Structure 1
Amino acid sequence: MADVTVIGTGVIGSGVVRACAAAGLEVAVWNRTGRRAGEVAKANPRVQVHATAAEAVRASRITLLCLLNYPVTHRVLEQAGAELSGRLFVQHSSGVPESVGPLQDRITGAGGRFVEAAVLNYPDAIGTDACFTVYGGAPEDFAELGPVTKAMAGHQVHLHDEPRYAKAYHVVASAFYYAFVSGFLECAAIAEHVGVPLNAFADSVPLYDPGFENTVRVGLDLIERRDYAYEQAPLTTHIDVLQNLAGAAEDAGVDASYLTALRDRVRTALEQGHRREHIAILTEQFRARRSAAAAPHPVEGA
């Protein structure tokens, strides 16, 4: 029997699998695309790929759900059926606090137990001292996750008995992060326009948080090279979060939120075919508008 099951081997899931295997845990995995699960397993002899979600869930008493969002999680759990009974499920997917209750009810109604988790850093930090994850759920369930939280490393914090608190914390922390991202992108565009070298701009920013520093360093390098390919956090991973956050801002009575503007910029980039690029590619929208404004206007009658 495996020590833990990971459902979904995308960017977050594969990071969790690698960290757990490196910590000596036997890991059962399932992914909709078998090739991606196979790639993770190839480098980790402690990882066993299963053909169905039901088989993977049955392989251990703890299942870490690392799928794209809550609707996808619900669809996958339908495949697991009665396998939910007697098992502990930890949800890592993107969503809002209102999404937590229905999923919790589904799992506990089938005899399972439920913990909500939110990873608050880039996936490559999982398994390192820089990893920061918050959890909501029964203290005894969090305690049962001891081997997993030890493998995740860094700061693993139990916030509250109520699972939705973890997602609420994530919403607030994400809104703060995207405020920084939005300001960073606009500042980079202004710095470039007024002739401030990007490296000098980076050195002038007070980088109190390692996650912010990573965004600045990686983002400025990509902006300077105008090559935005970045698998750690491509644009497709941002759109669900920003749609949820823009909705949360609207519900809170916030007018003209920067979150709405940033969401719309990401939508535009996705419509232009940019799916696997870093969010720094949004600076190209600023450049395009600046170029259009500077272009000579045709002479009337010419």
Structure 2
Amino acid sequence: MTQSLRIGLVGVGLMGHGIARNILKAGHRLDFMDHPGNQPVDDLLAAGATSRASGREVAEAAEVVLLCVTGSPQVEAALFGPDGVVEGLVLKSAVIDCSTALPSSTERVAERIAAAGGRFMDAAMTRTPKEAEAGRLNLIVGASPELFAELRPLLACFAENITHAGDVGAGHTLKLLHNFVSLGFSAVLAEAAAASRQAGIDDTAFLEVVGKGGGSGVVFDRLRPFIASDDPSGFNFSVANATKDLGYYRAMTDELGARRLVAEAVEALYAGIDDQDLTVPEIIRVLAEKK
């Protein structure tokens, strides 16, 4: 994609800010929706972005609208609420949902976007805000092969690894499966680290044994800084978001009729944390303190 596109963005949060910065860096025009939940946007405005008052105004100015919000209720509100994106949607423009959402909702959203004359893609993200700022996100895409081929160069300006999972909804389905695995591994490691501390094992010894054995991997590397030095920045993901995602996973498996014995225990651990504003690594401290 060599030409400059008119991009609209709803959701300039921890992940959306990095996406916005890299869209501008790639030479595209950017209009974003003003919202109290946005990260500071002075750098985006200085780079040429334009702030708009509503989703409708963002859509009116855009060929492609990206959503980077919390979940399905927020997606539906941004698209179909008063002054929402669909009210300003330009004929044959594309909507890309980078949020974590319930696949059945995603399929209904895609039908409504098509009825309004637009096209729809789910492009769920993995990795962290650090990779978002660096333009190195992973994306899991659900879309027609034609739309995927058309928009892949745009996605590549803020993502390092892009997987076409299948038709609409496949991206969000695979994202929930991924998050269950990631959060499940995190729960196992957090519980083990807490039990290790209660047993009086030195954290350095725990990290050496687990890291050189069956616990090594991406999740271990994200939680290691907290175990070693109380630094939660390796996995800047809130317990509230983990609980939300696991609730979506439960709803999805209900719809599929799939078994989820392990998932029920994992969800119970996250939902049982009183302070849902904590990050995932900080669960280790909470579990270690409980008797």
CA distance in 2, matches of 1:6, 1:131: 17
User: What is the match of residue 300 of structure 1?
Assistant: none
CA distance in 2, matches of 1:31, 1:232: 24
User: What is the match of residue 248 of structure 2?
Assistant: 244
User: What is the match of residue 46 of structure 1?
Assistant: 48
* 1:216 partnered with 2:220: no
Deviation at 1:230, TM superposition (A): 8.4
Which amino acid counterpart does residue 11 of structure 1 have in structure 2?
Answer: L
CA distance in 2, matches of 1:55, 1:40: 21
Deviation at 1:13, TM superposition (A): 1.3
Contact 1:120 1:133 in 2 (8 A): yes
* 1:192 partnered with 2:197: yes
Name the TM-score, length of structure 1 as normaliser.
0.81
With 89-98 and 280-289 compared, the bigger mean Cα shift is at 280-289
Deviation at 1:29, TM superposition (A): 0.8
Deviation at 1:188, TM superposition (A): 0.6
Q: 3-state DSSP class of the match of 1:116?
A: strand
Which amino acid counterpart does residue 223 of structure 2 have in structure 1?
Answer: V
CA distance in 2, matches of 1:249, 1:198: 37
* 1:157 partnered with 2:163: yes
Contact 2:8 2:65 in 1 (8 A): yes
Contact 1:2 1:59 in 2 (8 A): no
CA distance in 2, matches of 1:230, 1:216: 6
CA distance in 2, matches of 1:168, 1:274: 24
For structure 2, the residue ranges without an aligned partner over 5 or more in a row are none
CA distance in 2, matches of 1:185, 1:171: 20
CA distance in 2, matches of 1:217, 1:230: 8
Contact 1:28 1:50 in 2 (8 A): yes
Deviation at 1:219, TM superposition (A): 3.5
Residues 191-243 of structure 1 show CA distances to partners (whole Å, capped at 9, x for unaligned) of: 2123332233233325664x32442224324xx53x75889322232221011
User: What is the match of residue 80 of structure 1?
Assistant: 85
User: What is the match of residue 95 of structure 1?
Assistant: 101
Deviation at 1:279, TM superposition (A): 1.3
CA distance in 1, matches of 2:99, 2:164: 17
Contact 1:243 1:263 in 2 (8 A): yes
Could you say if the C-alpha distance between residues 134 and 230 of structure 1 is closer, same or farther in structure 2, counting changes exceeding 3 Å? Answer: closer
Residues 122-178 of structure 1 show CA distances to partners (whole Å, capped at 9, x for unaligned) of: 132126475321111122212222342221231112222x11111121122122112
User: What is the match of residue 5 of structure 1?
Assistant: 8
Instruction: Report the aligned-residue RMSD.
Output: 2.7
CA distance in 2, matches of 1:142, 1:46: 27
Deviation at 1:2, TM superposition (A): 5.5
* Residue among 34, 39, 53 paired with 1:36: 39
Q: 3-state DSSP class of the match of 1:11?
A: coil
Percent identity of the aligned residues?
Answer: 18
With 258-267 and 238-247 compared, the bigger mean Cα shift is at 258-267
Could you say if the C-alpha distance between residues 34 and 165 of structure 1 is closer, same or farther in structure 2, counting changes exceeding 3 Å? Answer: closer
Residues 68-94 of structure 1 show CA distances to partners (whole Å, capped at 9, x for unaligned) of: 111111112122343223210011122
CA distance in 2, matches of 1:127, 1:229: 14
CA distance in 2, matches of 1:62, 1:182: 37
Contact 2:56 2:86 in 1 (8 A): yes
CA distance in 1, matches of 2:15, 2:123: 12
* 1:142 partnered with 2:148: yes
Deviation at 1:250, TM superposition (A): 5.3
For structure 1, the residue ranges without an aligned partner over 5 or more in a row are 291-302
Which amino acid counterpart does residue 47 of structure 1 have in structure 2?
Answer: A
CA distance in 2, matches of 1:181, 1:29: 34
Deviation at 1:12, TM superposition (A): 1.9
CA distance in 2, matches of 1:106, 1:185: 42
Bigger radius of gyration: 1
* Residue among 18, 26, 29 paired with 2:29: 26
Q: 3-state DSSP class of the match of 2:156?
A: helix
Which amino acid counterpart does residue 80 of structure 1 have in structure 2?
Answer: V
CA distance in 2, matches of 1:241, 1:268: 15
Deviation at 1:57, TM superposition (A): 1.4
CA distance in 2, matches of 1:178, 1:34: 24
